[in-house]
Amino acid sequence: MDGRRSSALTKMGLGVLAFNSALAVYNSWDDASSVLFVLAADAALVLLFLCLGEFERAGRERGRNIKVPVWLLTTVLTVMFASRVAPLMPPVVSAVVWAMAVATPAGGFWAFFLSP
């Protein structure tokens, strides 16, 4: 089987993402920042999906170059979602959300680049 072919589950997942995003854009059409958030999150998710697929195809040695964009995209998504969730929470919970948003990329950086 060709490694470039997408599975039915992958196609279904992208279809659900597209449908959900279209609904989110439709429901928040009057709020430009929300529409921009949805489009930016979708772009980051699709890029992350493509990077992960390339990482799987490249193998361990050649996949090292793909770790940086994967880490950057996951960090961007984490910060994006924390920036939308934290303001809705009480101050203590907001601080926990931001602490987790910092700890997650830090742990990912350690796991990707510093651990043996």
Average pLDDT, the chain: 89
pTM: 0.82
Task: State residue 91's pLDDT score.
Answer: 96
Q: Quick one: what percent of the chain has pLDDT higher than 90?
A: 64
Roughly what angle, to the nearest 10 degrees, separates helices 91-109 and 67-85? 180
Residue 42 — pLDDT band, cuts 50, 70, 90? very high
Q: Distance between CA atoms of 84 and 40, rounded to whole angstroms?
A: 13
Output b/e per residue, 59-69; b: 16+ Cβ within 10 A: eeeebeebbeb
What pLDDT score was predicted for residue 4?
54
Distance CA 109, CA 29 (A): 36
Q: Is the dihedral of CA 43, 48, 53, 54 positive or negative?
A: positive
pLDDT above 60: residue 26: yes
End-to-end C-alpha distance for the chain, whole angstroms: 33
Instruction: Select the more confidently predicted residue: 106 or 51.
Output: 106
Q: Does 6 have pLDDT greater than 70? A: no
- Tens of pLDDT, residues 79-111: 999 999 999 999 999 999 999 999 999 999 998
- CB of 44 within 8 A of CB of 77? yes
